[in-house]
């Protein structure tokens, strides 16, 4: 397998894009990524696009062909990748494997979702398809309620508090203030979160990520060639994926995400690293409890200590392990198909010392973690700063 690096990134602002279409968003991100590494469309050999539910959100399928058409790069192969909220992360892994295998030298990976074209009820139904339609959604189990069940179990077993979950939201909103592309640019307090009203107890409105429009793109290249094309390429030194049961009823435990633990273990082994070697991480905080699960299952903190660590400031920008420097899904926004790719964009910026006011000091190794559904799919990537052309 060949080494693979990121040489260019593109990101739209995240939010409610009433004035931009699905086509315009993916074109904007793709053009920014291609232009950012001084390439042209003709240099791209293949496209992998993450998108979860465009059929339900905008009535458009056949997304791979749409992306290639919009970017003017037909007739190269273009493939849509779907893995619920992990669609972007799996698209990134698909592009990584295409280059690592030698099938292509340069590929574009995109992620896109336009979620605001439908009502909140319709959006909830579309997102519910990321779980088990027959045993969960049909019986009225929404994703807030599924994560609320996991939160209650974690609280009972480990003493995790609602205030500790709220601390995740406070931190991520604070980080989002420093990200010009984030959906939310306002701080919130523990009190704000606690008073925001229950969606599914113990999860409140400000414990939940928003409905978002947005797109992200990265250009992947074989590393030897990347060093010639890019001043500061970022090498992907591990790309792993694991699965678990689709429904919560099939899980051995409600206080861990087994797919995350397995994907993380494989990623650390592949990269020959340990959790303590990671300088920052973007994790899948669709709900605040999901961030606590993630930092435990990725090995940054022992099981049951994630809430306490967050409350103590250990995951802040200047903490022991900065988590979600971009603002995360909670503060930056969560256009589901784009999230995994947007995480890679943040990793690239951090490792190029280009994250401005949210820059992590001495960042050399980063990790991204993208989850589908309530944990049925988990994708982990590890990145390393390397030198490129002079």
Domain boundaries along the sequence of the chain: 4-119+211-229, 139-210+237-385
Specify the CATH number of the domain 139-210+237-385. Answer: 3.40.47.10
Tens-digit pLDDT profile for residues 226-283: 999 998 999 999 999 999 999 999 999 999 999 999 999 999 999 999 999 999 999 9
User: What is the C-alpha separation between 288 and 286, in angstroms, rounded?
Assistant: 7
User: What is the C-alpha separation between 373 and 54, in angstroms, rounded?
Assistant: 16
Residue 367 has pLDDT above 80, yes or no: yes
Mean pLDDT across 44-64: 97
Catalytic site residue from 17, 37, 51, 85: 85
Under CATH, what is the fold of the domain 4-119+211-229?
Peroxisomal Thiolase; Chain A, domain 1 (3.40.47)
Tens-digit pLDDT profile for residues 212-226: 999 999 999 999 999
Tens-digit pLDDT profile for residues 148-161: 999 999 999 999 99
Residue 388 has pLDDT above 70, yes or no: no
What value, to the nearest 5°, has the Cα angle with vertex 388 and ends 271 and 370? Answer: 40
DSSP state of 211: P
At residue 173, the pLDDT reads 98
Residue 88 has pLDDT above 50, yes or no: yes
Residue 390 has pLDDT above 50, yes or no: no
What value, to the nearest 5°, has the Cα angle with vertex 107 and ends 105 and 390? Answer: 65
Residues 115-140 as b or e (16 or more Cβ within 10 Å = b): bbbbeeeebeebbbebbbeeebbeee
Mean pLDDT across 134-146: 91
Catalytic site residue from 104, 173, 334, 369: 334
User: What is the C-alpha separation between 132 and 226, in angstroms, rounded?
Assistant: 41
| 85 noted as active-site residue | yes
Per CATH, 4-119+211-229 and 139-210+237-385 having the same topology is answered: yes
| 173 noted as active-site residue | no
Q: Write the CA distances from 234 to 62, 67, 223, 350, integer angstroms.
A: 31, 24, 9, 10
At residue 137, the pLDDT reads 87
pTM score, two decimals?
0.98
């Amino acid at each position: 397998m060949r080494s693979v690096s990121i040489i260019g990134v593109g990101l739209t602002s995240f939010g409610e894009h009433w004035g931009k279409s699905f086509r315009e968003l993916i074109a904007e991100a793709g053009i920014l990524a291609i232009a950012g590494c001084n390439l042209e469309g003709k240099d791209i050999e293949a496209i992998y696009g993450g998108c979860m539910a465009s059929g339900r959100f905008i009535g458009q399928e056949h997304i791979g062909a749409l992306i290639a058409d919009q970017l003017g790069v037909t007739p190269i192969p273009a493939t849509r990748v779907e893995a619920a909220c992990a669609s972007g992360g799996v698209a990134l892994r698909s592009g990584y494997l295409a280059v690592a295998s030698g099938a292509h030298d340069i590929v574009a990976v995109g992620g896109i979702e336009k979620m605001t074209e439908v009502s909140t009820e319709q959006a909830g139904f579309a997102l519910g398809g990321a779980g088990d339609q027959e045993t969960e959604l049909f019986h009225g189990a929404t994703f807030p309620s599924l994560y609320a069940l996991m939160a209650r179990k974690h609280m009972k077993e480990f003493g995790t508090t609602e205030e500790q979950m709220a601390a995740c939201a406070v931190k991520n909103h604070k980080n989002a203030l420093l990200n010009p592309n984030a959906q939310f640019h306002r701080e919130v307090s523990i009190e704000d979160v606690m008073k925001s009203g229950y969606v599914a107890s113990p999860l409140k409105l400000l414990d939940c990520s928003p409905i978002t429009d947005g797109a992200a793109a990265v250009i992947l290249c074989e590393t030897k060639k990347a060093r010639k094309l890019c001043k500061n390429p970022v090498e992907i030194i591990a790309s792993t994926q694991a699965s678990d049961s689709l429904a919560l009823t099939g899980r051995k435990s409600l206080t861990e995400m087994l797919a995350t633990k397995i994907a993380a273990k494989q990623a650390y082994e592949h990269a020959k690293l340990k959790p303590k070697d990671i300088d920052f991480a973007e994790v899948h905080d669709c709900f605040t409890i999901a961030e606590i699960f993630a930092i435990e299952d990725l090995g940054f903190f022992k099981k049951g200590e994630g809430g306490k660590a967050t409350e103590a400031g250990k995951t802040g920008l200047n903490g022991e392990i900065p988590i979600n420097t971009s603002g995360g899904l909670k503060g930056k926004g969560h256009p589901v198909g784009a999230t995994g790719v947007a995480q890679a964009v943040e990793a690239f910026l951090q490792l190029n010392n280009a994250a401005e006011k949210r820059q992590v000091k001495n960042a050399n190794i980063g990790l991204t973690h993208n989850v589908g559904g309530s944990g049925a799919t988990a994708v982990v990537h590890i990145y390393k700063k390397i030198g490129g052309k002079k």
